[in-house]
Amino acid sequence: MSFTWPVFLWLLLLLPLLLGFLVWAKRRRERTAEAFADERLRRVVVHQPPKAHVRWPLALQLLALFLLLLAAARPVASPPLPTNKAAVVLAVDTSRSMLAADLNPSRLEAAKATARKFIELAPPTTQIGLVSFSDSASALVMPTTDRQKLLEAIERLKPAQNTSIENAIITGVRMLPGRKNLKPPAELQPPGLQQPDPLQGVPDLPTPQTRPPQDLPPGSVVILSDGASNVSTNPGLPTRNSLEIAARFANNANVRLYTFPMGQPGGAVAQIEGRNYYIPFESRNLEQLAQATGGKNTYPPTEEALRAIVQELGVVIRWEGTKTEISSLLSALAAALMILAAGLSLRWQRRVP
């Protein structure tokens, strides 16, 4: 326990002084009574209550005073309290393939609407982060409960170039609490080339202590994409192998992947920069990522389906020591003791001390 105003602890010295004064006053009254009254007459006239009937109310009053003086120093304790440790990262695909209009008005706008709905349905205490990914992944918002910051970041999402889903997974996993220092899989790094760290300079979210990922509360990365992944940090690896490695990285970090495919079966033809392109819809990639990590693939992402996913991801209760000022608790306990002392004194001695 610590104290915000420890100087007030000196007031506790008043207690022994007060107790000494009460003992002195009692003895003085007894000496005065002995000097001015006959002992046998005094016993008949003056009723002496049992000692317990006097001492108990006094002890309760002194204890209440002790608690009030302690509360004046504003003590801070760390009692174990139930805390929502749920953390989710939304990874939104901003590649050019998301311009396809098989979802109205486009895959990207549908993904943004789904992300906004997810944030709206999530409990206020759920920490949510945001990643955008195309050729590379960008950590736009670290997990937070600031909903307005998230919504503003979603509104600013613009289409970019190609798609690298494994980059989104690795960045999303490392954004979750306690996982920033996890090293990306070596297999996804091209030989002799050091990739820039998207979390460079970003502080890790505070955790009670440094723990292995398996001991951390489970985290989740929600991927909103059409499933097409055509860029890898290691061009020598096939797409399927890259995704498997990224999924294994998430699984080892106690993170599940939840996927929301954006598009229609069969793909679509879209006009980009004045030319027509066939844009595939590869939901199978997303299904495999969810299965590999124990997550879920949700298609189509209706409001009912979103609500079910949010209920699953939005609350992870852990008992955790949380610094809390307990002055009000001590004051309330002191008031209760004062009332109890007054009640006992009124019942036993027919007066309120």
pLDDT grade, residue 269 (50/70/90)?
A: confident
Tens of pLDDT, residues 307-337? 999 888 867 766 666 778 889 899 999 999 9
pLDDT at 317: 66
- The pLDDT of residue 208 is 45
Q: How far is CA 246 from the centre of its chain?
A: 26
pLDDT at 231 over 80: no
The residues that bridge with 278 in the sheet, in sequence order, are: 269
Comparing 318 with 174, the larger pLDDT belongs to: 174
Distance CA 330, CA 53 (A): 25
- Pairing, β 75-77 against β 127-133: unpaired
What is the structure's pLDDT at 209? 46
pLDDT of residue 91: 96
3-state secondary structure (DSSP) of residue 333: helix
Tokens 């139930």 — which residue? 82
Which of 235, 216, 128, 210 lies closest to 172 in space, CA to CA? 128
Angle 7-10-14 from CA coordinates, rounded to 5°: 150
Domains of the chain: 2-78+326-349 (no CATH), 82-184+212-319 (3.40.50.410)
Query: Which residues have a Cβ under 8 Å from the Cβ of 41 and sit 6 or more positions away?
Result: none
205 band by pLDDT with thresholds 50, 70 and 90:
low
Over residues 61-81, mean pLDDT:
86
pLDDT of residue 193 exceeding 60, the answer is no
Of residues 181 and 217, more confidently modeled? 181
Give Cα 73 distance to the centre of its chain. 29
- Report residue 249 as tokens: 């990285």
Beta bridge partners of 255: 219
Q: Provide mean pLDDT across the span 198-207.
A: 62
Query: What pLDDT digit, counting tens, does each position of 18-50 carry?
Result: 888 888 887 877 677 666 666 666 565 556 667
Residues 126-151: tens digit of each pLDDT: 999 999 998 889 999 999 999 999 99
Mean pLDDT of all residues belonging to the chain: 84
What CA–CA distance (Å, rounded) separates 87 from 179? 12
* Pairwise pLDDT comparison (255 vs 22), residue with the higher score: 255
Query: CA dihedral defined by 325, 126, 85, 79, rounded to 10 degrees?
Result: 20
